[in-house]
Amino acid sequence: MNESLKPKDPAEAVALFRAQVIGPLLCREYDSHGELAEALRELAAEPVRPPGYNVTRYFAVSTLERWYYAFRKGGIEALRPQGRASGYALMLDEAQRKLLLDIRREHPQVSTALILRTLERDGRLARGAVSEPTLRRLYAAHGLDRRTLAAGDRQPRRRWEAAAPNLLWHTDVCHGPALRVDGRAVPLRIHALLDDHSRYVVAIQACSTERESEMLALVVKAMRLHGAPDVIYADNGPTYVGEALATACGRLGVGLVHAKPYDPQARGKMERFWRTLREQCLDHLAGLGSLHDAQVRLIAYLDRHYHVTPHSSLLGKTPAEVYETGRREPLPDAMLSEALVVRGRRRVRRDGTVSIAGTDFEVKQGFLAGRTVTIGRSLLVPTDPPWLEHEDQRHVLERVEPTRRGRRRPAPRVRRGIDAVPFDPPGALLDEAAGRKGAQQ
């Protein structure tokens, strides 16, 4: 064997060193305790250099005596360092330790006294469970003391947060694992709106695409339940820079702000949520068979875990607790409907009908036949009929039922403007039922 003989672990190396130190005491028998005490004092005056040290040191008589009797009783194994609870704040469990460390990372400028006082008042920590000096030592052991943090952050980025819930919503899209629908892969795109102050997710939706219409629908869904924020903060992707979202926000008095290009730190809160969602939920959705299955799991994750779990940036409070302090009244459907009105110009046929998205509607005002008029429709409820606007009045149009003898005109291949408004009565009823159920919950 060419391998050298060496201690199997650091504990055995320490035991061997201690045995060498007390070696002169082991080679003789002592007739009295006074004789042993004299030998111990002589040995304590001798400098020794422990393994890994560059300088020598002295060991006290009491230490040498303890080693001597331990070796006499249990041999080399008795000289191994005894395991003991390590670290600081030993009365805290692992979850409390992690919470304290995460809060410090999120709020490096907050004092330990303020952290302790806040957590004790909120009931997150029992009073007296940990002292300020102990907490400072805990932070120092993890490189989270103020001096270390200041040295490692020469160019600090100013931290900003909305003053209250519902002042600012972040919005973004996350790519999830592909679904398996009828044997083929279908992409999964998660649209979400996150409240800046509370980190509460006001709306989330599983889709297969990332179009502006889907984000607009999500914004409307959130406002129906939580009211309107002051500002919506989005990136510069095509999902957020179109006219539809900007028009709806402008009509509702909501500012639409886009992040500066090439500044990912400005989107840090949203990116942090996506990382958490991916680790705890999205990574386990692979192979699902429908968007409905993905949506149900997303809602369950938010309601049962994310919203009710203490958040480090909230000083140990949960997103649900913080968000409840700033709830607003939901926007009425009348206001939302008016904000989502689309209009287009159409020529009324000689038979008093007009075509919208391939569907014929009857214009009862016969004097308008042959004239070009303005047609309006709301995106809020596609089942609601469109209307004709004339002289500051709205005249609701009725759908023309097709007859056997009648000739149906083909729908245009490319639909723009008001023709692009979907007309899906079953789908609208399903969305309405789902909205009512969500409001009741």
Query: What is the C-alpha separation between 266 and 284, in angstroms, rounded?
Result: 28
Q: Are 100 and 92 in contact (CB under 8 A)?
A: yes
| pLDDT over 90 at 88, yes or no | no
Question: What region, left, alpha or beta, does residue 199 occupy, with left being phi > 0 and alpha being psi -120 to 50 degrees?
Answer: left
What residue spans define the domains of the chain? Answer: 10-79, 94-151, 168-324, 340-428
Its sign, for the CA torsion 134, 140, 143, 144, is positive
CA 395 to chain centre: 47
How far apart (Å, rounded) are the C-alpha atoms in residues 90 and 137?
Answer: 12
pLDDT one-digit tens code per residue, 164-174: 999 999 999 99
Whole-number pLDDT of residue 419: 58
With 70 as the cut, is the pLDDT of residue 262 above it?
Answer: no
Q: Among the ranges 33-37, 108-112, 321-325, which has the highest mean pLDDT value? A: 321-325
- CATH number for the segment(s) 168-324: 3.30.420.10
Q: Is 438 helix (H, G, I), strand (E, B) or coil?
A: helix
Mean local confidence (pLDDT), 110-139:
82
* 353-356/359-362 β-pairing: antiparallel
Tokens of 2: 């060419």
CA angle 165, 169, 172 (to 5 degrees): 150
Alpha carbon distance 219, 232 (integer Å): 9
**Structure confidence by residue, pLDDT tens digits, 201-249:** 999 999 999 888 888 889 999 999 999 999 999 888 888 888 888 888 8
Write down the residue that tokens 């044997």 correspond to.
Answer: 183
pLDDT digits (tens, 9 = 90+) for 45-59: 888 887 767 778 888
Contact 245, 258 (CB under 8 A): no
Average pLDDT of every residue of the chain:
80
Amino acid at site 25? L
In three-state secondary structure terms, 201 is strand
The C-alpha atoms of residue 286 and residue 409 are separated, in whole angstroms, by 44
| 241-257 residue pLDDT tens | 888 888 888 888 888 88
β 341-347/201-207 pair status? unpaired
Amino acid type, 428: A
Task: Decide: 282 and 174 in contact? Cβ < 8 Å.
Answer: yes
